[in-house]
A and B are shown apart, each in its own frame.
Chain A
Amino acid sequence: GAVVSQHPSRVICKSGTSVKIECRSLDFQATTMFWYRQFPKQSLMLMATSNEGSKATYEQGVEKDKFLINHASLTLSTLTVTSAHPEDSSFYICSARDRRARNWYEQYFGPGTRLTVT
């Protein structure tokens, strides 16, 4: 149980285009999902927290107009990188919290999406 999937696993796009990444909880309902970004040899950094049916909360320094997050259902959150630039190339990982989890701090991570902007 507690499986989180991401699609696509890898994506290459041209500078200036937009790309959408999906995060799905496969066997549980997630009221909260988290989006992280990991640059090479750097730590995972939380970008934003999304709650089903409401606006995402972005971490300081993350442009909300550039990284659009939609959490339209209890099993799906999407991250859209708009007008992508080469510096947006990174590994994007989502995690999800089971609405029925006994412990508030438990998160289940997806396998990640490697974004390369050329």
Chain B
Amino acid sequence: KQEVTQIPAALSVPEGENLVLNCSFTDSAIYNLQWFRQDPGKGLTSLLLIQSSQREQTSGRLNASLDKSSGRSTLYIAASQPGDSATYLCAVQGGSEKLVFGKGTKLTVNP
């Protein structure tokens, strides 16, 4: 059974700092890994999707890496802003459409 763990559970940083969020998964037989953003009481916004054959994906100030063999992914956020404050979810997908999520990292960026 696939399990996804995210560390840390919460993170508070001053504005402008670079930061890294971590995600690990137990079964390396994944098709892809996604990072989502969830704002309080709201749905999910897909940030980055990494196929199992890829090592990383970049979008603006966000960079996600994937080490499939070790079951790890990181989300790097450069020059953090207060607007980045949200919960970040990591999810993996095997051969089916089912997404298995971690519990998330709650990020607070202080002005």
Chain A positions within 8 Å of B, measured between CB atoms, are 4, 6, 9, 32, 34, 41-46, 49, 91, 93, 95, 97, 104-105, 107, 109-112, 114
Contact = CB atoms under 8 A, between A and B. Distances in A.
A105 B43 contact: no
Given A109-B43, A109-B44, A111-B42, A41 B103 contact: yes
Given A41-B103, A43-B4, A111 B97 contact: no
13 contacts: A41-B103, A43-B103, A45-B101, A91-B41, A104-B97, A105-B32, A105-B49, A105-B97, A107-B99, A109-B43, A109-B44, A112-B42, A114-B41
B92 to A, nearest CB: 11
B11 to A, nearest CB: 15
A56 to B, nearest CB: 13
A59 to B, nearest CB: 8
Contact of A34 (B32, B36, B89, B97): B97
A111 B43 CA distance: 4
B76 interface: no
B7 to A, nearest CB: 13
| 5 interchain residue pairs of minimum CB distance | A109-B44, A111-B43, A109-B43, A44-B101, A43-B101
Nearest to B1: A60
Interface string B77-99: 00000000000010101000111
A10 to B, nearest CB: 8
Nearest to B89: A44
A4 B97 contact: no
B2 to A, nearest CB: 11
Contacts of A112: 41-43
A93 B43 contact: yes
B27 to A, nearest CB: 15
A46 B98 contact: yes
